[in-house]
Structure 1
């Protein structure tokens, strides 16, 4: 009989030394994921035969330092490389010895195969082995594994099969999912394709957020999408955290009257009433600097993350999905490509305008001012941005071009995702139920009816 793989124990049964916690504090600077352009190059799955010499050497070192790994898995190729880990494709040599309820593809195949063929099947079964770098602290590693274990039954979320530790090295064993590099298909996606993509992504996020977990690093390379099956899987919870972790009071959670009172009696308001310019600041400012979690990837961070909100919620993930949709509609990747958080705020200002960004900053108890003349007060509409990016505004002698009806529907949905106020931003569950995504089910039913007609 197949046996179940060893489950992760609950946090109460795992001792965490105080030294480890100090190490986590020292590792707070490791919250920046790899640049999306650099990272995207590693999402292409190459065949077993196409293994570079450098990768073979890397695999050999891994097998040498992690004793016993090659007895349970045959490492094949390196399929991913990021800031905190490297991911390898491997054959599970002991697949038949365990209960593999996590294997979605196997379950689907078994539905359509006879018991005889099922038993006779000797095809190899692949997994993804995630080698977590030793620069990650024990607290961070434990957090990722614990969250993955909690999400093991969640739809469209990559489940944790098991995990191993050898000395200071930790590996997580995850299902292997076939997927394409985002850069290979995003320009060719129709609006119908986008509906299917975001239905799958928001299904995953709704499950994650229902558990009170913030992914914190939603981006194309962390959503492995199979364009053939119109199915994706959310991966990489290395920066994820439970909502409410290390919260400190922020003005955004105050009642409107209390927030207005606080703004009216702030240092900023006093300098304004004294007739100073907007860029004035106290000569001897004794206030402590503001610290907040800014983990994530440049270009995908929500305004509240850039403004150092100390009570961030699951809505930061929804903003990141909005950036992906804007990328697809504009055919530009990456859409935002800032060098730091200040540049990132200014990039958002280009679209939403200075007025909106001042309001957003004050909402979080911050002040936003810029004297760059090219930033308009009201910004630009998302419709105009998309027309610009897709080359439909260049020739003034031609009739004015507009978005087609399907694109307009997508932009209406985009407005709900790229809402600067996190409390007005649509939730992942609301997004799943939004008309733009519900239409994907209608289109699927039409396609099935057409197939039935052809078969008849």
Structure 2
């Protein structure tokens, strides 16, 4: 296919000097740009790379300008894949962008350049704002629109049997002014059993042939494989303090210990597990081989079935991540969850969704999750309103009612307004409310109902993206 881009060569020496952004471009970025030109020299015939706008574990993203045949200049995002990715993984990402991208809020692909093991994927550039920069400015209506378009993108890719596996705000670009959205980065995508993306099927076969997926470390094991055999010969059980028996602070201030384990008996097993539903790990469990299961994604957005290394993971893990994003947007806290390892992440989920509920859900997908103390399930509305500072104030902190012309001593623009005379205050609440132009004083129950369904601990009963779009919260969209 003929490229609509001119083949005018941009000299490497002038790729950075000619831009007005040089003062903002560090020498290390200039060096990276020059290295990219040398690694993939055909880029210089088409693009003037201006800046480095993103960097991840497996890729770096650059901003490039191209002169089109009609004389106009367009901006593109150039994603340079780190030359350690498996060739099938790279080809699968390209196929996802080609087949699924370009519509329904999913980013498409324009061109692809390759030289040896260096691959650069060229996509349309979309100006966007980071959620961390605008989360305190968003109105409830903007949040409703944001999550609606995210679910539209998820419904679209799930229809093709594609699991994104790394849903987070950084991968769902948002242009607040233009109200445009784009799901990006399919570098960790995986296919379902009936996926329509052929290369994801091939990748699934490669992954099953490997040992630990992406060389991941098994966080369910207390020790390494070498020491596991040694531990199995001991008669004593593992003492508290191991990784699988680590203690974490709970929401109520006391210690909480979380442990996950898979209890499967095979014909080859001679001994019976003796630690089920106890606070220790027996020698039989220590002698088991490492579990092999996908564990992609970003800490804080991983679903319970990912954290517990459930081998059967589906599109529901993307829906959970969307639920975490909605939780952040409703509470005004980003990131909401932040943990150094999977067990701490699971403990944090328990403090919100409840330890007993987490255990029941884990049992549904073949896992046992134990917590040293019971953690109650929290009310999502109360949680979000508390974090947003919207819960009723004590009597001595209630501000005087004003005429609404001033902006308040705190400069927030929020003015307390009395309730209508014929409306009695809810028991336990004060006879006044904050008038909020952003709509946070009028968040409907439907928002928290949808949040509850997105954060269903059981992936088998978790709402799908397609059904979520039919939720009453989105009536009128």
Partner of 1:189: 138
Q: Deviations over 1:120-163 (max 9, x none)?
A: xx431111110000122222212211221221353211101121
Partner of 1:412: 449
Aligned mate of 2:429, from 384, 400, 406: 400
Note if 1:331 corresponds to 2:280. Answer: no
CA-based RMSD of the aligned residues comes to 3.0
Aligned residues: 356
CA shift for structure 1 position 270: 6.8
Partner of 1:428: 465
Q: How does 1:277-292 map to 2 (within 5 A)?
A: 278-285=278-285, 286-292=287-293
Indicate the SS of the match to 2:136: helix
Distance 2:475 2:20 in 1: 36
Partner of 2:382: 384
Partner of 2:113: 164
Q: How does 1:26-425 map to 2 (within 5 A)?
A: 48=21, 50-93=24-67, 95-96=68-69, 122-244=71-193, 245=204, 271=274, 278-285=278-285, 286-371=287-372, 373=373, 376-393=374-391, 395-397=393-395, 400=429, 404-425=441-462
Indicate the SS of the match to 2:98: helix
User: Is the contact made by 2:277 and 2:370 (CA closer than 8 Å) also made in structure 1?
Assistant: no
Provide structure 2 residue ranges, at least 5 long, that are not aligned to the other structure.
5-18, 194-203, 209-261, 397-427, 434-439
User: Is the contact made by 1:151 and 1:208 (CA closer than 8 Å) also made in structure 2?
Assistant: yes
Alignment CA distance shift 1:215-1:264 (3 Å): closer
CA shift for structure 1 position 284: 3.2
User: Is the contact made by 1:263 and 1:269 (CA closer than 8 Å) also made in structure 2?
Assistant: no
CA shift for structure 1 position 329: 0.9
User: Is the contact made by 1:198 and 1:437 (CA closer than 8 Å) also made in structure 2?
Assistant: no
TM-score, normalising length from structure 1?
0.71
CA shift for structure 1 position 367: 1.3
Q: Deviations over 1:254-293 (max 9, x none)?
A: xxxxxxxx98999999747xxx862244323343332210
CA shift for structure 1 position 314: 0.7
Alignment CA distance shift 1:237-1:396 (3 Å): same
Partner of 1:3: 2
Higher helix share: 1
Alignment CA distance shift 1:278-1:397 (3 Å): farther
362-371 or 224-233: bigger deviation: 362-371
Q: Deviations over 1:43-95 (max 9, x none)?
A: xxx984532332222212211232221111110111111111111111123x3
Distance 2:459 2:310 in 1: 11
Q: Bigger relative contact order, structure 1 or 2, given CA contacts below 8 A and separation 6+?
A: 1
Aligned mate of 2:474, from 429, 433, 437: 437
User: Is the contact made by 2:81 and 2:119 (CA closer than 8 Å) also made in structure 1?
Assistant: yes
Of structures 1 and 2, the larger Rg is shown by 2
User: Is the contact made by 1:223 and 1:233 (CA closer than 8 Å) also made in structure 2?
Assistant: yes
Distance 2:75 2:354 in 1: 49
Distance 2:83 2:27 in 1: 24
Distance 2:391 2:106 in 1: 40
Distance 1:396 1:144 in 2: 54
Distance 2:147 2:330 in 1: 13
Indicate the SS of the match to 2:386: helix
User: Is the contact made by 1:214 and 1:313 (CA closer than 8 Å) also made in structure 2?
Assistant: yes
User: Is the contact made by 1:432 and 1:438 (CA closer than 8 Å) also made in structure 2?
Assistant: no
